[in-house]
Amino acid sequence: MNRTAINPTDWSKQFGFNQGELLENPSKLLLLSGQVSIDDDGRPQHAGDMEAQVGLALDNIEAAAKEAGMTLSNVVRVTIFTTDIDAMFRANAGFVERFKKAGITPAQTMIGIDRLALPDLMVELEATLAS
């Protein structure tokens, strides 16, 4: 698969993401439901700690990617649903660093919402992966 960053302007680069990803000839496409900070039994983890919730949600994306024969480097788009945009911006450095270590800057959108499915959850990450 050939992957090309699409950035009509450069403002998004300071936040660690591309405005678009052009994919040519992908052979696999994985569309993930929103991943949250829950354990293997579906119990919310890290109440009140945005950075830890983001980390566990990313771990869950990574685990799903592995099951599909992919890695975090295959993420091409992330949609962030959050109940606290300011806290998510504060946690953004760790979020961006995970993708930077994977060698990518995927397209992303952040959406502020009133609440998620479970009251203690502050962030849900929906991802698209391709290879």
In the chain, where the domains are located: 34-130
Q: What is the mean pLDDT of residues 35-45?
A: 94
**pLDDT-derived band at 97, boundaries 50, 70, 90:** very high
Residue 99 · residue 105 · CB < 8 Å: yes
**pLDDT-derived band at 26, boundaries 50, 70, 90:** confident
Q: Give 57: exposed, middle or buried? Use CB within 10 Å, 0-12, 13-18, 19+.
A: buried
Architecture of the structural domain at 34-130:
2-Layer Sandwich (3.30)
pTM: 0.88
Q: What is the mean pLDDT of residues 2-31?
A: 88
pLDDT on residue 100: 95
Evaluate if residue 25 carries a pLDDT over 90: no
Tell me the average pLDDT of the chain. 94
